[in-house]
């Protein structure tokens, strides 16, 4: 677990602040064009949890996407499955 999470869960604001760089930047989502999709899935025998962070452009199309998956074994299984799908799609 990251020390920042430990500090937040312990409600130790001084410890949390001590973990911030002097030039830290705080951002808020832009609103209607930002979305977070939390999911659980299985890839073969591997269970994984994740979150897709999406940003959409003025046409409603996704123009930026960040995918976070855990645990590492699930992320690796997902990467292999996606690779196989992409290779199969290239063959079509």
35 in the same domain as 1: no
Digit-coded pLDDT (tens) for 2-40: 898 899 889 999 999 999 999 998 877 778 888 999 999
The domain that contains 71 carries what CATH number? 3.10.450.50
9 in the same domain as 35: no
| Residue 3 structure tokens | 């020390």
47 in the same domain as 6: no
pTM above 0.75, yes or no: no
Q: Establish how many alpha carbons lie within 13 A of residue 27's alpha carbon, considering only the half-sphere containing its beta carbon.
A: 5
83 in the same domain as 44: yes
Digit-coded pLDDT (tens) for 62-78: 999 999 999 999 999 99
Q: What DSSP character marks residue 28? A: -
Please give the residue range of the domain that contains residue 8: 1-29
37 in the same domain as 19: no
Helix ranges restricted to H, the chain: 3-9, 13-18, 72-91
36 in the same domain as 25: no
Number of folded domains that form the chain: 2
């Amino acid at each position: 677990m990251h020390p920042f999470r430990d500090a937040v869960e312990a409600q130790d604001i001084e410890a949390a602040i001590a973990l911030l760089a002097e030039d830290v930047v705080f951002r808020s989502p832009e609103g209607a064009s930002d979305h977070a999709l939390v999911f659980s899935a299985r890839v073969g025998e591997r269970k994984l949890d994740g979150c897709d962070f999406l940003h959409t452009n003025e046409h409603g199309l996704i123009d930026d996407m960040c995918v976070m998956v855990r645990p590492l074994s699930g992320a690796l299984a997902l990467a292999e499955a996606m690779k196989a799908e992409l290779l199969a799609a290239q063959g079509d």
